[in-house]
Structure 1
Amino acid sequence: MIILPDAKSRLHENGAKGEREYFTVVRARIDGFIAQHFRLRGALALHRHAMGLDILRAPMNVVLSPVLVLIRILAALCAGLGLNAFAGWLRGRRILLRTAVAAQVEAAVVSDLLGIMLPQNGARDSVELSQIILAAPQFRGGFRAKADVASVRTSAARVADAITEYTSVRSAVADITNALIALVIGGLVFHSVTPGMISMAPALANALALETAVANFPLGKSAGAMWYGVFSASASPWLVAVVVAALLFVGSVISAFSGVLADPLQARLGIHRRRLLQFVDAVEDELIGAGTIGYTAHEHFYARFVDVWDALVSAFRIFRS
């Protein structure tokens, strides 16, 4: 059957109308989606999957996050210089390790929010997720409007990248949560600003050194407390290194399970809702719009700001001492 240009235009308009109605339904699901997965009960159920290798993956993602930010900055510079193909390739690099919790969130976004049927074990990687998006009946109208097969595949890959980008937010939020917990502990226990585990390590090491010195004072603990109230007991470099390692391990456990605290708080503050609306807007624009909005998780940049703050506080204390 030959479709005349006017008829083809009407088909495109009808398809776009159907897609817009679909995304209206998706936006209406957001509040229920948040209540199901990110309130306290849902967060507890979600983080059962963090038991195991996520305790190792979470700290690795904290280490890899600065690399991700540098690549994003490089991609933006390349786009500004007109190197759009290379910039797009850089944006598509998946730097962070895929945690079990992130995989569960990804599956929930695809099936519960977007309403797309997933295989029983979910998508194993971004390539398979792209294929699932490509075959989704909800997106056929938008894909039909693309110029050619290559454009359709690129669009499906960009939708898959947006989903992966959304789930990657969890590593940045975990890093920020670690920093806030360290900040609270440092303020309450050590009466100092400790925006991270690294800046908290010297204070904790000195406290341990003081406690050990007082306990081992030859004239007893009372005399030791008086003595070291006048003469300070500083921690050795070895003790500081051990404390840093121990705090990093504690931080890795906190990173894996931080969403139990962070998700309900973000749900109450409306952060999850705003983030999901931005995500849906980006997917809709990719399918029936200009495809220029995209979805970028700015939380990675916020987390790096906290890291810089932590490093500056640590460096200030080193030079001051």
Structure 2
Amino acid sequence: MNRTNTAHAKDAVLTQAFVERHYGFLGSFKLHCHALGWDLVRSPTNVALAPLFLLVRLAALILRGVGFRRMSSWLSSRRVFFRSSVSRAVEASIWAEVMEERCEPLSQTTPHQKRLVEEYADVRNAISEIFTSVMFLCVGLIVFETATPGVVSMAPIVSDVARTTAASESFLFGQRLGSVWYGVFPPEVPLWFVVSIGFALAAGASIVTTFAGVIADPLQAVTGVHKRRIMRLIRALDENFDDPPKLAREHILARFSDLTDAGVSLVRTLRP
């Protein structure tokens, strides 16, 4: 169904009002209050399931490309992520404040339309992961003067620093001479220690990811990203009822960050 310019302008006004109400700093803070509870478990679980989500969607795209449209639609409709309380709140607000204002009540929508709105909420999770990766990268560059785009690449560096600091403090001739000694002859770092640091960093990263939207949402609101994403959602609801949800580039970028993290760690491990 083709939308008139007047309808498009109305959608833009509704969308902008929604963004200002929910994705400003105060609105985003209120939204993320829903994360206090089981979302602290769901969010890290969803991060762990993200590679599986990408594989399922890629398989659906391949099946569609070779002509297995029914199987592709079935696979793309499988829900991989756990629905977080924040995502539910976002979906409910979208329906109540944007879609129903356009005379599209939830009771009259199709399962495919509902899935599109769920997909929109899932994209916000991917943005939180990307934001967390950027934070890891910044911390690595500022504190350790090296690129650390994630837990995998940061854990060995933090382990080395922690082990060297502990060894220097217990050095026979004092901490200052210990720092010099272990700067030349680094202490051995056991694998279990690196793994323990990795788990601790992963736990911290999961909490950061859960609440990253408090900062990421206002930034996206100011730059117009949120508005454009909701307008894309509206167009998809209006025009693409028979198409499966597309694989959002945010999911691809989040997984690219993971691959970069693993790649940086591998290069450092193999470097003599």
TM-score tier after normalising by the smaller chain length: over 0.9
SS at match of 2:100: coil
Matched, 1:105 2:90: yes
- 8 A Cα contact 2:168 2:179, kept in partner: yes
* Aligned match of 2:254: 303
Equivalent positions of 1:84-95 (< 5 A) are 84-95=69-80
Report the Cα distance in structure 2 between the residues aligned to 1:167 and 1:20, rounded to whole angstroms. Answer: 27
Alpha-carbon deviation of 1:174? 1.5
Percent of aligned pairs with the same amino acid: 32
- 8 A Cα contact 1:159 1:286, kept in partner: no
Specify which of 215, 230, 233 is matched with residue 261 of structure 1.
215
- 8 A Cα contact 1:214 1:225, kept in partner: yes
- 8 A Cα contact 2:100 2:106, kept in partner: no
Q: CA RMSD in A?
A: 2.2
- 8 A Cα contact 2:57 2:247, kept in partner: no
Report the Cα distance in structure 2 between the residues aligned to 1:207 and 1:17, rounded to whole angstroms. Answer: 60
Alpha-carbon deviation of 1:49? 0.8
Q: 1:217-271 CA distances to partner (integer Å, 9 max, x unpaired)? A: 0111122122123222242211101100100100110111010011111111211
* Aligned match of 2:23: 38
Q: Which runs of 4+ in 1 moved over 3 A?
A: 16-24, 291-296
Equivalent positions of 1:24-103 (< 5 A) are 24-103=9-88
Alpha-carbon deviation of 1:21? 6.1
SS at match of 1:115: helix
Q: 1:62-104 CA distances to partner (integer Å, 9 max, x unpaired)? A: 1111111111111111111111111111111110110111111
| Larger RCO (CA within 8 A; separation ≥ 6) | 2
- 8 A Cα contact 2:128 2:210, kept in partner: yes
Name structure 1 gaps, 5 residues minimum: 1-15, 118-131, 137-155
- 8 A Cα contact 2:50 2:81, kept in partner: yes
Report the Cα distance in structure 2 between the residues aligned to 1:135 and 1:309, rounded to whole angstroms. Answer: 44
Specify which of 120, 135, 139 is matched with residue 108 of structure 2.
135
* Aligned match of 1:152: none
- 8 A Cα contact 1:165 1:296, kept in partner: no
* Aligned match of 1:271: 225
Matched, 1:218 2:203: no
Alignment TM-score, normalising by the size of structure 1: 0.79
| Residues 111 and 284 of structure 1: CA distance in aligned 2, closer, same or farther (over 3 Å) | same
Equivalent positions of 1:138-149 (< 5 A) are none
* Aligned match of 1:316: 267
| Residues 237 and 216 of structure 1: CA distance in aligned 2, closer, same or farther (over 3 Å) | same
The number of aligned residues is: 271
- 8 A Cα contact 1:199 1:310, kept in partner: yes
* Aligned match of 2:205: 251
Q: Give the counterpart letter for 2:182 in structure 1.
A: Y
| Larger Rg computed on CA atoms | 1
| Residues 19 and 254 of structure 1: CA distance in aligned 2, closer, same or farther (over 3 Å) | same
Report the Cα distance in structure 2 between the residues aligned to 1:257 and 1:225, rounded to whole angstroms. Answer: 37
Alpha-carbon deviation of 1:294? 4.8
* Aligned match of 2:183: 229
35-44 or 17-26, larger mean C-alpha shift: 17-26
Alpha-carbon deviation of 1:22? 5.4
Q: 1:111-149 CA distances to partner (integer Å, 9 max, x unpaired)? A: 0111269xxxxxxxxxxxxxx63536xxxxxxxxxxxxx
SS at match of 1:195: coil
SS at match of 1:43: helix
Report the Cα distance in structure 1 between the residues aligned to 2:3 and 2:66, rounded to whole angstroms. Answer: 37
* Aligned match of 1:123: none
* Aligned match of 1:280: 234
| Residues 296 and 115 of structure 1: CA distance in aligned 2, closer, same or farther (over 3 Å) | farther
Specify which of 133, 137, 160 is matched with residue 114 of structure 2.
160
Q: Give the counterpart letter for 1:303 in structure 2.
A: A
Alpha-carbon deviation of 1:297? 2.4
